[in-house]
Structure 1
């Protein structure tokens, strides 16, 4: 685990409040995020070293498999979920409580996130993640390079599923290292389990939407955003942190965190919808227009259909069919551009979506949700530094470029 000195930095660097610096929110975020991410990364690295060594002793091939899983965890990322969980805990516990006892539980959320990402990439047939080949693509390439028998793509997908499963088990194991009272840890686990159930539910709806896009709607697209993203990215991590601090379920802070978390989490996914079409691949690590290629019925595309003029709607339906998105049949889907759509087709469809006013409406929805989140923070007593951090995170998470 990360040593106490490193873990403690995330507490010792607390600014006193708005009097310090021209932008106290930015100062809080910069100091805390840097040191919290360092503490989480060191915790993960130490834990994973032990786990990989144990699996290597079973068989050398197992060591390579475990190392692949480890590399997926440590390959980068903003550590968003541990960050929200930290501030959920800090908002209730205040600035005097040591971080070390709860740090393993915070870091465990990043293992859960890796499980979700690896499985999501298989389901979406994504080729890149964070600017690198996705796990199943890299594993398929290793299989082909080794000259093994069988279909390399199928091998890559099968092993990637196991990589995700291993990360889920590792998350459970690392969480058990948190040194909090057993009854409290059981309460934390209940929150964690609900987060996992909601993540699976949201992922299922996401998969269903791509296969039944003609019957999809804006309401269902927002439901996917709520359960696939808002729940396990912001809302449940905040509540997870509150449980680590011993906050009971009927406390007003839980209500405030729930309101804030749903609002920021949905705004986070709406920003993802925009980045999936208009983002810079150098920043996002994924090709622009992926959602258009696959025909994913995001809130952006549902809004475009609603707001389109008759002429625009006819153009959309010629390009994407009566469902969601794409430029002709994609692999395994009734709609979606597929890998064969060239950049000009995707760019033209992106321009058409913007021309309907859907992009502006999504931006308005993001702004409204951030305002709702900030209003929620005013309804309860919360540690002052945590309040400033959550204000800043609401903006940072929804204005990001990656």
Structure 2
């Protein structure tokens, strides 16, 4: 197809089974690097300034990486559906997911006003600094925000191009694209509902769970699993089992992320630990804490955690953390994560995947949630 780079083959030693989840995580970095190099070359032919300032900034974010969990789950879904042999399409689907993730992160940081991502300044902050350093006119902050929106759009375009190319190269491309298309819409819906909840100062538990599912759980675990399975020509029974397993594991992942957003160490997470608290973002953790505070007539905790409370100083954030713990919300969320991981392992067993693949999934879920499932011990 004109304008698209050729499929980038993974390292020769990784083409044939067995390819483990850690192997897939490492191999997608190689494939992604080659894709990004080709995209940058294309960008230079469009305009060297665009390539140097915007495309290169996006590329740097992608190359700083992350856990590459989506690629690992894609590979796991492929194996669960009987996939074997050439892994090129799997790795390219994983690379497309990494680019889509970059789009989500860039836009999310703009909307949340976050200043740090993956241990470095967020893209809109970097672009604002470029504006200031170059002595441009106008607001550096406004420029950075506007340019970051374009960077996120560029990441989405690159992701769609790569997924489309991959779909054209597989006999199961139509099903692959259907999964991808559904995932993109779910992501946008989740982000919109998140914004809407903040604007409405909502504190509903069900609403928090719906946002977590759409915004994170589906596109972090459930859809990657079914994207991988689609590449292997999975039937509806396997796809349904993977969707159920992925929804549970993905939600557990998001609840863990909520806890890290409130109590995590920025040195380990690569992002500030108080953004969600200061903005009173509707998380399951916060919604549960407010419900528990109301049930216990803990008016001090309710006032501290209320959506319309003034975030104030660092001391106010510490009071929020204390309230999240005192109400029992922190402990309840930990329990919910454990329950969801057990459910995920149970649903995955319905795929009929062999023992090695079930072990791989259990290990990935533990990596995503920080919890060793009791059912995973039974699998082992």
| TM-score, normalised via structure 2 length | 0.90
Is the 1:92–1:383 Cα contact (8 Å) retained in structure 2? no
1:360 alignment counterpart: 331
2:78 alignment counterpart: 89
* 1:351 has 2:322 as partner: yes
Is the 1:7–1:100 Cα contact (8 Å) retained in structure 2? no
State the Cα distance separating 1:58 from its structure 2 match: 2.3
Aligned partner of residue 148 in structure 1, secondary structure: coil
Structure 1: 5+ residue stretches without partners = 14-31, 329-336
Count of aligned pairs: 363
List aligned pairs for 1:13-92, cutoff 5 A: 32-64=20-52, 65-92=54-81
2:261 alignment counterpart: 276
State the Cα distance separating 1:397 from its structure 2 match: 0.8
Deviations 1:287-321 (A, max 9, x none): 22221101112111111111116786422343344
Structure 2: 5+ residue stretches without partners = 1-7, 372-380
How far apart are the structure 1 equivalents of 2:364 and 2:43? 38
List aligned pairs for 1:92-131, cutoff 5 A: 92-94=81-83, 96-131=84-119
State the Cα distance separating 1:207 from its structure 2 match: 0.8
Aligned partner of residue 143 in structure 1, secondary structure: helix
1:140 alignment counterpart: 128
2:234 alignment counterpart: 247
1:5 alignment counterpart: 12
Aligned partner of residue 258 in structure 2, secondary structure: helix
State the Cα distance separating 1:76 from its structure 2 match: 1.9
1:306 alignment counterpart: 291
Deviations 1:112-171 (A, max 9, x none): 111111111111110111111100011101111111011111111111111111111111
1:223–1:90 CA distance, 2 compared to 1 (3 A) = same
Aligned partner of residue 93 in structure 1, secondary structure: coil
1:263 alignment counterpart: 248
2:4 alignment counterpart: none
Is the 2:173–2:231 Cα contact (8 Å) retained in structure 1? yes
How far apart are the structure 1 equivalents of 2:212 and 2:175? 26
Find runs of 4+ consecutive structure 1 residues off by over 4 angstroms: 179-183, 309-312
1:179–1:377 CA distance, 2 compared to 1 (3 A) = closer
Q: Please give the root-mean-square deviation of Cα atoms over the aligned residues, in Å.
A: 1.9
| TM-score, normalised via structure 1 length | 0.86
State the Cα distance separating 1:179 from its structure 2 match: 7.2
Deviations 1:260-283 (A, max 9, x none): 001001111111111111001111
State the Cα distance separating 1:57 from its structure 2 match: 2.1
Aligned partner of residue 66 in structure 2, secondary structure: coil
Residue 274 of structure 2, aligned match among 276, 289, 306:
289
State the Cα distance separating 1:100 from its structure 2 match: 2.0
Is the 1:312–1:356 Cα contact (8 Å) retained in structure 2? no
Residue 143 of structure 2, aligned match among 149, 155, 158:
155
How far apart are the structure 2 equivalents of 1:177 and 1:385? 30
How far apart are the structure 1 equivalents of 2:256 and 2:191? 18
Deviations 1:56-114 (A, max 9, x none): 122221111211111111112011111111110111124x4221243212211111111
Aligned partner of residue 297 in structure 1, secondary structure: coil
List aligned pairs for 1:148-297, cutoff 5 A: 148-178=136-166, 184-213=172-201, 215-248=202-235, 250=236, 252-297=237-282
